[in-house]
Amino acid sequence: RAEGTKNNKKMMGLNRMKAITKPLAQRTFATGKAYPLGLVPGRKKEGWEGMIYGFYGASAFLMIVGLANKPSTDIREWARNEAIAREKVVAKGGEVEWGTFYNKGGANGYTFSKSETGTTPVLEEDEEE
């Protein structure tokens, strides 16, 4: 049994030597260096990376432009548009009734209607003008 123990120790030493003499890329020990996302500087990029970065940039651009041009849904904006619409009714000689909304077109002042299902919405003409 003593010989078996010696042989096991000898084999363990050989395994350690094999691990040390392996090429650097095949070693499995921690180097102590950390890179962002585990990407080593100077590595060759994969084929999909350039395309996905382009999509990220285009998506960010579209989000910025879209959110900068979104319609205002603030209650103050709605009240302002309603007050302007009521002033127009009064200026034309009409009476303003309590509980009636005069700004029918919403925040942008446009009203669209469809005649039937499957047709394209058409801008309604202003009945008052």
- For residues 44-50, give the mean pLDDT: 89
* Cβ proximity of 90 and 96 under 8 Å: yes
3-class state of residue 79 by DSSP: helix
Q: For residues 85 and 108, what is the distance between their CA atoms, to the nearest angstrom?
A: 12
* Cβ proximity of 100 and 82 under 8 Å: no
Q: For residues 127 and 54, what is the distance between their CA atoms, to the nearest angstrom?
A: 48
The reported pLDDT for the residue numbered 11 is 55
93 Rama sector, left if φ>0, alpha if ψ -120 to 50, beta otherwise: left
**Taking Cα atoms as reference points, which of 43, 48, 49, 52 lies closest to residue 25?**
43
Q: For residues 56 and 63, what is the distance between their CA atoms, to the nearest angstrom?
A: 11
Q: Report pTM.
A: 0.42
Residue 94 identity (one-letter amino acid): G
- For residues 93-114, give the mean pLDDT: 74
**Taking Cα atoms as reference points, which of 33, 53, 35, 52 lies closest to residue 43?**
35
Please report, for residues 23, 85, 110, the alpha-carbon distance to residue 113 in angstroms, rounded to integers and kept in the order given.
73, 20, 10
What are 27-43's pLDDT values in tens digits?
Answer: 665 556 777 777 788 88
pLDDT band at 129 (very low <50, low <70, confident <90, very high): very low
Highest mean pLDDT, choosing among 9-23, 48-62, 112-126: 48-62
